[in-house]
Structure 1
Amino acid sequence: MAENPDTQTLIDKNLSFSIPAKHCRGRAVRLGPVLDDILSAHNYPSQIKALLAEAMCLTSLLGALLKEEEAQLTLQAQTENGVISLLACDYKDGDVRGYIQFDTERLVSQPLEPSLMALFGKGYLAITFDHPEPRGRSQGIVPLEGASLAEAVQNYFMQSEQIPTVIRVALDIEGEQTIAGGLLVQHLPDGEEGKERLHVRMNHPEWEHVAIMGSSVQAEELVNTALPLEDLLWRLFSESDEVRVMSGKPLVKGCRCNEDHIRDVIARFPKEDKEDMVSEDGTIAIDCAFCSKKFTITSASLNN
C-alpha cells in the first residue's frame, strides 16, 4: 500500500483509495464527533438516531465521490404513509448535515430495529449530484427496498448508474460517542475514473474478487477507532498488486443557515406570501430543521 503521511486513525474524515490492477476505486469513512454534533440537534429516539447515523455515513461516502469543490450531494427519502415523512442529508466540500422528520406517536408502536418498510412505507430514495456547469445536475430515484439504507444506495448504483458497487455501513451507538463506519467499492472496467463506462459487466472476474474481499469486512472493523482505516484497507485488499490511498477532507457539521441566507430565500417569494409570513410584531420567525437554530427576521430588513 502506498505510503500515507497521516497514518493515524481517521475520524470525521473521508479516505479515497484505488486498486489500479483491478480497475476499482473506493471510499472509506469513520464518523464520530461530527455525527454526535448532528444528532444532538434533536432529541431523536433510538430508532431514528440509528437511521440518521447510517444516512450520514452514506452521505459522507457518496459526497467523497465528488471532485469539484462547489459540487453537492443530496440524499433524500420520499415516503408514502410512513412513520418517517422526511429524511434529508447533504454534503458540500466536507460540510455535512442531516435531518429526519417523523411521527412520534406511530413510532412508539415500532420495534427497536424496525424494517425500512415499517419506517418509510412505500418509499423512494433520491440521490442528487449537483455539479458546477457544464455538467449540472444528475439524479437517480430507486425504491427504498432491502434490509437497510446502505442496501438501497447500493441498488441505486447497480440500477441507475450501472456501476458494480459494494457498500457496507456499521454503527456503534451503545457508548458515550456514536460511531459510524462505512466502505464503498466500485468497479470501473475501462480503468480510469471519469471515463464513460462502455462495457459494464457485473460478473467481471477482477470485480468478483474485489467484491468478495470488500463484502468480507466486519462491522466491528468499521467502527473500531483503534484500527486505522488504512490498515483495514490493507487487510481487505492486500492480495492486489497495489492499493493507493489518499486522505480526504475533514468532515464538519455545516448547516449553512444564517440570516443573510434566510433573507435571500424569503426574498424569492411573491410579495403576498411574504406579507403572510410577517407576524403582528413585524417579524418572521424561522426555525432551521437541520440544526434547531431559531432566527427572527424583521420585515423592514427584507428587500420587498
Structure 2
Amino acid sequence: MAPTTDPATTDLDRVIGFTIPGRHARGRVARLGPVLHAILSAHAYPPVIERLLAESLTLTALLGTTLKNAEGQMTLQAQTEKGIVSLMVCDYKDGELRGYVKFDAERLARLGKNPSLHALFNKGYLAITFDQVTTKERYQGIVPLDGETIAQAAESYFLQSEQIPSVVRLGVRRDAQGMLIAGGIFLQHLPEGEVGRERLHVRLDHPEWQHVEAMGATMGADELADPALPLETLVWRLFNEEPEVRLLGGTSLARGCRCDATYIQQVLTKFPETERAEMADENGVISVDCAFCSTKFPIALADFVPDAL
C-alpha cells in the first residue's frame, strides 16, 4: 500500500537539532513516514520486526544527522549468535537511510506480541560506527545490548561508551491509512569544557541536566509519532519555559540503498574466474540479492573480462 498521508499537512521524514545553552544540553527530534514505508515495503516483516526496525531507523536518523560532513556515514548494528534476531543493520549517509533485519521466523512466531529486546536478541551487542570520510577518522563503540527497548540500549551505549548521560525516546504508531509512523527525541548533556572538571556521572547531582532529563522523559510515543504535530512544536512543548532554545536547522530524509549492478560486478571481479563460474546458474548468470532493498541483480558471466593467463 502506497503512503497516503498528505505532505502539506504533516511533518514527516525530517530531523531538527537544537541546543539549550542555559542547561548545557543539546537535542534532536526526528519523524519518519514515507521513507519508513519505502524501506519496510521491500520486505514482508511481521509487525514485531517492523516496529524494531522502525525504532532503529529513527535512532539512526537522530544520530546520523549529528555528522558534520555530508560524506560521513553512521552505522548502527545489533548482532547475536543465538538470538531470534541474529543481525540488524541500519545506516545513514547524507540524509539517506537504509536498514534490514535477519531473524528466525519460526522462533519469532512462538513469542507474544510485545517481546522484550532480550527475548529477541538474547545476549548480544550494539555497535555504533561513525565514519568521517573527509578526515579519514573512524570511531566505533561496542557495548552489550542492554535494556528492554532499543531506546534503553542506546542510552546504555552512550553512558558506557562515551560516558555521556543521554535521553532517548522512540515512538511508533500507524496512521488512519495503516502506514507506520515513527518518531524520536535524543537529548545529551554538553561538556562544559573546563580542564580537570569532573564528569557528570561521578557527581552526586547536576540540576541542569536532571531538569532536561525529566522533561525529556515526559515525551510520549503518541506525540513523537503524530505527523500533524510539527517537530518545532515538540521542542517548544518541552522547553518553552527556558530563556533560550536555539534551533539548528533541519535535515530532510530519504530512502537510500547504494547497491547497483555496476558496483556488484566490480566486487565480483575480485573473485577468480573459476569461483565466479561456481556462483553462476545453468544459464551462466550470477544472482546477487541486496539485503537492504531486496533487489535481485543478475550478472552474466559473459560480462566479465576473462582472467589473464
Please give the TM-score of this superposition, normalised by the length of structure 2.
Answer: 0.90
Partner-residue secondary structure (3-state), 1:57: helix
Cα offset for 1:274? 2.9
Distance 2:123 2:200 in 1: 30
Distance 1:104 1:197 in 2: 52
Change (3 A) 1:9 1:240: farther
- Corresponding residue for 2:299? 297
Distance 2:142 2:272 in 1: 31
Cα offset for 1:172? 0.2
Please say if 1:188 is aligned against 2:187.
no
1:27-106 map, 5 Å: 27-106=28-107
1:246-265 map, 5 Å: 246-265=248-267
Distance 1:213 1:25 in 2: 13
- Corresponding residue for 2:157? 156
Letter in 2 for 1:200: R
Partners of 1:9 and 1:229 within 8 A in 2? no
- Corresponding residue for 2:4? none
Deviations 1:136-161 (CA, angstroms, capped at 9, x unpaired) = 21111111121101110111111101
- Corresponding residue for 2:246? 244
Partners of 2:72 and 2:134 within 8 A in 1? no
Cα offset for 1:65? 1.1
- Corresponding residue for 1:4? none
Partner-residue secondary structure (3-state), 2:123: coil
Q: How many residues align?
A: 295
Partners of 1:50 and 1:173 within 8 A in 2? no
Cα offset for 1:16? 0.9
Letter in 1 for 2:87: L
- Corresponding residue for 2:199? 200
Partners of 1:63 and 1:73 within 8 A in 2? yes
Partners of 1:8 and 1:228 within 8 A in 2? no
Letter in 1 for 2:228: A
1:278-289 map, 5 Å: 278-289=280-291
Letter in 1 for 2:86: S
Q: Which moved more, 1:35-44 or 1:205-214?
A: 205-214
Partners of 1:9 and 1:228 within 8 A in 2? yes
Distance 1:85 1:277 in 2: 25
Letter in 1 for 2:96: D
Distance 2:142 2:13 in 1: 28
Partner-residue secondary structure (3-state), 1:67: coil
Distance 1:44 1:36 in 2: 12
Structure 2: gaps of 5 or more residues: 1-7
- Corresponding residue for 2:268? 266
Distance 1:232 1:268 in 2: 50
Partners of 2:125 and 2:145 within 8 A in 1? yes
- Corresponding residue for 1:13? 14
Change (3 A) 1:268 1:38: same
Distance 2:125 2:272 in 1: 31
Please give the TM-score of this superposition, normalised by the length of structure 1.
Answer: 0.91
1:91-240 map, 5 Å: 91-173=92-174, 175=176, 176-190=178-192, 199-202=198-201, 203-240=205-242
Distance 2:109 2:195 in 1: 48
Cα offset for 1:263? 1.4
Partners of 1:34 and 1:251 within 8 A in 2? yes
Distance 2:116 2:16 in 1: 30
Distance 1:165 1:122 in 2: 23
Change (3 A) 1:133 1:174: closer
Please report the RMSD computed on the Cα atoms of aligned residues, expressed in angstroms: 2.1
Structure 1: gaps of 5 or more residues: 1-6
State the identity as a percent: 52
